[in-house]
Chain A
């Protein structure tokens, strides 16, 4: 359940981005999750629900976009897409690769309400 620590970092991140953009409420959050981080999207959603409570993101929906890993073979330099938990280079047949994509967790966008919009929606 390392999803909880990721969700805690995510909430810190969205609140910081909201503060920079004069946001009153965060309604939707989109995050890209690299496959090498071993995140279970449902577990991240649950953890996010807990971590966002009591903040301006309290009602926010979370969209998790999974990013497949990309590896670069150290011996021959070939870039390839590992699949099914195997990291075999299709050229040289070695399994000695650096992961060049699929390690990151990126906040990509947020749907928000500004103070003004929030005010207009009040009855």
Chain B
């Protein structure tokens, strides 16, 4: 017997993501899903960003890793609410994990929620967590060819940050190659060149963040 069924396999996951989005919007929080390869500087960027936004900005971080609470420890003491999520063998955060994380946060007190996804350029791109915005990092040591190699991740980005800009000459990283690839994949997201070490690009990045806050 053949049964024709048309069912959305990810309905439960998607409706949970939708519920997360509604909760965050109702609380007036700008929520950002930060995605990149491991080691591209997500946590360092957040350390600098939280400090630069200042205590009045009231930020929180949900940070996803397979194991350890090292990132949460690095982000502690900066004035932000921080919750570490360990995914075990999971290669991306899920809307269920984010919903549990939101339960642990005082959402009404927040302006910004940063969701630091598991370092991975494939799987996180395929799962909506209920975030309002997607920010993708590409660090210079990863190479200037990664936009074309992982187009789906970059296509869905609302902003793209080129990190570790202080190393580009040493590494022969070509920003124009990244721009050429983005011209075919995403012309909507601003490309912000950043170095957490020198502070280059922090101003446009913070201005972009505050702009999203003003739009809310």
Contact = CB atoms under 8 A, between A and B. Distances in A.
Interface of A: 1-2, 5-6, 9-10, 12-13, 16-17, 21, 23, 31, 36-39, 74, 85-88, 94-97, 99, 104-114, 117
Interface of B: 1-13, 90-92, 94, 122-123, 125-127, 148, 151-152, 155-156, 182-188
Nearest to B2: A111
B184 A86 contact: yes
B2 A107 contact: no
Given A9-B9, A107-B9, A95 B184 contact: yes
A83 B148 CA distance: 12
Closest 10 CB pairs of A and B: A85-B151, A2-B123, A96-B188, A105-B9, A86-B184, A107-B7, A95-B187, A37-B126, A17-B5, A110-B3
Contacts, number: 104
A114 B184 CA distance: 51
B55 to A, nearest CB: 36
Interface secondary structure of B, over-half rule: mixed
A87 B127 CA distance: 20
B5 A9 contact: no
Nearest to A34: B126
Given A12-B12, A36-B152, A38-B125, A106 B6 contact: yes
A33 to B, nearest CB: 9
Most buried by A among B5, B10, B182: B5
Contacts of B127: 2, 5
A9 B12 contact: yes
B186 A96 contact: yes
A87 to B, nearest CB: 5
B91 A31 contact: no
A2 B93 CA distance: 10
Contact of A87 (B2, B91, B184): B184
Contacts of A108: 4-6
Most buried by A among B1, B182, B185: B1
A113 B2 CA distance: 9
Given A2-B92, A36-B126, A86-B184, A112 B3 contact: yes
